[in-house]
Structure 1
Amino acid sequence: MNFDDKQSSLNLSGPPLTLSSTDRLTGTLGNLSLSSSLGTPEDTPEFVQLDPSCYCVHCKLVVREALQLLCGHHVCLLCLDPLFGDEDVKICSVDDCGYQISKSEVFPDTFKRREVLKQKVYCTFRSRGCDAIAAWKDLKNHVTRCEFALVPCVRAAEGCTALLPRDMYDSHVRETCDFLPVTCNSCQTVTLKGKFQAHIEKDCPKAMISCPFSCGTPKFFREQLDTHREQCPNKPNQCSFSSIGCEFKGTLQSVQSHEKDDLASHLQLLSKYTSAMERRNADIMTELSDLRQEKAKWHQHAKALEEQCNLLKKENSAVKKSEKELTVLIAHHGERVIGLDRKIEDKALMTTTDKACP
């Protein structure tokens, strides 16, 4: 078959796109893809047996948004630029082809897109037991009805990550979901099912608990624990010397016995504490002395600033006085100037009159 015969057998949906630039071509093809109702789904299913003509010559996977090259092979819309790279014309990379292809002459192949969507695929949940086979374009509708589908819990937005078979969905949502709101029968607090046990064990004020000190008192409400702790004969008591480092704790009787029998250790702790306080006191006195010296420096500095301020006030007062005297002097000279102007005018008038009389 010669080139013309091959070209006449191509499945074309329209005339070739002859454009002046690669950017214009890519933009046009992109618009065709977006406006087409034959766009391939985003998922990649398991095909029963994909027709060899439905592979992309570049990515070697199922062709998406099929474009037809002049040689008859197909390329994905998004694979067009990677296929040609910086070249506008090249040889088709398929082994038995060898024809020259041009980036500016490709065809949006609607027929091939329909053919791809008709390819048979297995159900997404085949591994769970579904043996259904459907056209790729119908897979989504099948999955929404598939009895083997895993459905997200209705409380997914609240944090539930469970994916459930349809036959277990209702029981999960109504009974076992950790995010199911439940009401504590004891205190009427609403909490989540997954946190209910923790609520009973740690928070519920109406839960019956035993004495944490094992005093033998019958169980009581958790809300009564503070009152019981104050009265419990087995509550832990601290040694009177705990503030200086003694860590002994026990019942009141054991603490009293400890304080009586361990005088030597308490004296040793007291000695260490006293030494530590003396060192601390010395450090404080040193810091206090430094602060006093710093205070004296700042006091001297403030006094110098005050003297400078007083000097500036005096200078400012003298300037104001000089300014007032200068104003008076200017006014006085102004009056003299005005008087001289008048005398000059009178003199000029008299001279003019004398000249006018014979």
Structure 2
Amino acid sequence: MTQDLILQAGRRTVLMENEAIAALENRIDDNFKHACELILQCRGRTIVTGMGKSGHIGNKIAATLASTGTPSFFVHPGEASHGDLGMITREDLVIAISNSGSSAEVLTLLPLLKRLGIPMISMTGKPDSPLAQAADVNLDIAVETEACPLNLAPTSSTTVTLVMGDALAVALLEARGFTAEDFAFSHPGGALGRRLLLKVEDVMHAGEELPQVSPETPLSKALLEMTSKGFGMTTVVDHKGTLLGVFTDGDLRRIIDQKVELDSATMEVVMSRRPKTVSADTLAAEALRIMEDNRITALVVEDDARHPIGLLHMHDILRAGVI
């Protein structure tokens, strides 16, 4: 087989599957709406099942539903007949996938599901098949032909099934008012989860780590405090612990340029007043934005009484993966 023929086969496959997906648009109809309504009314979980390639696609559909606000998991129909049916309760709903609508392992479950009174949505390529006829609603996933030149290997049909599953998940997501923060709660280990769930209090330095001096503190002692804490800055507080300002490495360069008398200077004279601050419950991603907008590398964390309770450095946020 020449390289040109290999490229032609690949492009033909993409074209055929793209055409199959395009034909799916007209099937987002009343049956689709009814299927969504059934899932929204379900008080339990949405159980997805299917054999072979349909099962592989079903597994992904279940995962997508679960991560977008619809509690869901996949049950293998063969295993269901040997004990796993106990995972399904009367409160649940089943999505059964079979392109032919005649998969024996799936059909075996129908009497048991009917006995439990469990609503069922089928995804089949044949609306007159046993599975489609037994379902409360059938979603048509028929394709004119598979991308496989033998018209045997599930290719276009599995792609269309996956897209139909995605359409369900997205429609349900929007119907539930599912937000990015909701998504993050089911993805706490991912980058999105870290951006949306991590707060300043989770990564800030507090207690003895917080550099702190009084306005009467000489510059020399303030520099020692900055050096010992290692943040390139220190907070300046009054006798009540209220934040008055900060002194940073940048401030030191500024006063040197201004030829301030270093031996006699105190924090009250050289500190920067009205520093940028955040609260402990601020999202770390928002704190990072504040740093970037103001071209600073650290933020003082203060409480409602303007008492500094922590310090957040840009490196802390980057180490936490909030990027």
The bucket for the TM-score relative to the shorter chain is under 0.3
Structure 1 length-normalised TM:
0.21
Structure number with the higher strand fraction is 2
Structure number with the higher helix fraction is 1
Tell me which of the two structures has the higher relative contact order, counting C-alpha pairs closer than 8 angstroms and 6 or more residues apart.
Answer: 2
Select the structure of larger CA radius of gyration.
1
